[in-house]
Amino acid sequence: MAVQLDARPPVLPGPRTGRHAGRVRLSRFDTRYSPYLYIAPFFLLFGVFGVYPLAYTFWVSLHDWDLLGSDHPFVGARNYTQLMADPDFWHAVVNTLGIFVISTVPQLLAALWLANLLNRQLRARTTWRMAVLIPNVTSTAAVAIVFAVLFGREFGMVNWLLDVVGIGGIDWKSNRVASWVAISAMVDWRWTGYNALIFLAAMQAIPRDLYESASIDGANRSRQFWSITVPLLKPTIIFAVIISTIGGLQLFTEPRLFHSGTNAIRGGPLRESQTVTMYMFENAFAPHYNFGYGSAVAWLLFALIAVVAAINVLILRRLGGGAGKEDVL
């Protein structure tokens, strides 16, 4: 129940001065309603600029809606049926899923490994942590431009290194799968260290005596890692996978700036690395300004994110038993 201080007025005897009664009323009003006042800005702003646009996207997707036309006739599911038969859309879906798998799986494994390294008695602990986190604080656009040059065909450093070890140069921008790999490298460069710190935090919460009794039982380091650390980290791993899914399937800045010039929003002349978000952008904004069709892309991407996130959680919950039932998710 509300605060006891509100019980003050009845205790006060006799004639109250108007001023006092006013203050008491004010204080009761304050304790009861001011919390709503404090949280209102969030709900108001998020409602107008977060929830409403997302919901309204669905409404727009049911219309033939572009920049110039003053009326937007209702067309029902036509944008969706058109999209289902649109090879460029499915091409973008495959690109997005390809980049997502190539980037997320190695990234999370590397992050686990890195966290395990950082979870030791290290000299200059903070410096190491900063060194692995620094990619995460750089400007995404800047890094995408730098990586595009590193992966250049003629003068890129990656091809130069490949040449040194005797592998012929790869055309990272016009080969579809190669462009996925290059973009994944960018994503992993940015996020591996961040996820490693998240895993490290969870590792530090694991009681040490678990490991001590395991080593008394003769389990070696790697056995301990896979049978104690990983199972106990499962809630955190699931959390990281969900966050990676939501972010990874909406990937935009990296592939967009990996390419430059006129075909950039198409992810290369043959849409080698156009993601779904880029395809939404290409349709909804310059040059087409087809808001209805773009909105349909947005909603299907939304559905895709939900499905992939659910599949990931199901897979992860089945893997590696251990701390199964008492997980947070």
Partner 1 sequence: MSRLWSANRLTYAALAVTALLSIFPIYWMFVVASRSSDAMGQVPPPVTPGGNLGANIARLFDNTDAYFLTGLINSAIVAGTVTVSVVFFSTLAGFAFAKLRFRGRNALLLVIIATMMVPTQLGVIPLYLLMTKLNWNDRLPAVIVPALVTGFGVFMMRQYAGQAVSTELIEAARMDGCGTARIYWNVVLPALRPAAAVLGLLTFMTTWNDFLWPYAVLNDPENPTVQLSLRALSDGYYQDMSQVFTGTAIATLPLLLVFILFGRQIIGGIMEGAVKA
Which parts of 169-188 interact with partner 1 (CB under 8 A)? none
**Of the residues 108, 114, 182, 237, which one makes contact with partner 1 according to CB under 8 A:** 114
Please work out the total of residues on this chain that contact partner 1, with binding judged by CB under 8 A: 101
**Of the residues 16, 21, 22, 39, which one makes contact with partner 1 according to CB under 8 A:** 39
Q: How many residues does the chain have?
A: 329
**What stretch of H or E contains 90?**
helix 87-118
Which parts of 124-163 interact with partner 1 (CB under 8 A)? 126, 128-135, 137-143, 145-150, 154-155, 157, 160
Let me know: does 132 contact 115? Beta carbons within 8 Å. no
**Of the residues 41, 76, 166, 168, which one makes contact with partner 1 according to CB under 8 A:** 41
Contacts of 272 (CB under 8 A, 6+ apart): 95, 173, 174, 175, 176, 179
CB of 35 to partner 1, least distance (A): 4
Let me know: does 174 contact 269? Beta carbons within 8 Å. yes
Stretch that binds partner 1, among 9-17, 89-97, 176-184, 244-252 (CB under 8 A): 244-252
Stretch that binds partner 1, among 9-17, 39-47, 98-106, 170-178 (CB under 8 A): 39-47
Let me know: does 187 contact 103? Beta carbons within 8 Å. yes
How far apart CA 326 and CA 329 sit, in angstroms, is 8
Let me know: does 5 contact 27? Beta carbons within 8 Å. yes
How far apart CA 278 and CA 245 sit, in angstroms, is 17
Q: Which residue has the tokens 């089945």?
A: 318
Q: Alpha-carbon torsion 299, 301, 304, 310, what sign? A: negative
Task: Write each residue from 19 to 38 as x if it is in contact with partner 1 (CB under 8 A), else as -, in one continuous string.
Answer: -------xx--xxx-xxx-x
Residue 160 CB neighbour total at 10 angstroms: 13
Q: Does 17 bind partner 1 (CB under 8 A)?
A: no
Q: Does 204 bind partner 1 (CB under 8 A)?
A: yes
Q: Does 167 bind partner 1 (CB under 8 A)?
A: no
Which lies closer to partner 1 via its Cβ, residue 310 or residue 321?
Answer: 310
Q: Is 116 left (phi over 0), alpha (psi -120 to 50) or beta?
A: alpha
Task: Write each residue from 91 to 110 as x if it is in contact with partner 1 (CB under 8 A), else as -, in one continuous string.
Answer: --------------------
Stretch that binds partner 1, among 14-22, 76-84, 88-96, 251-259 (CB under 8 A): 251-259
CB of 31 to partner 1, least distance (A): 7
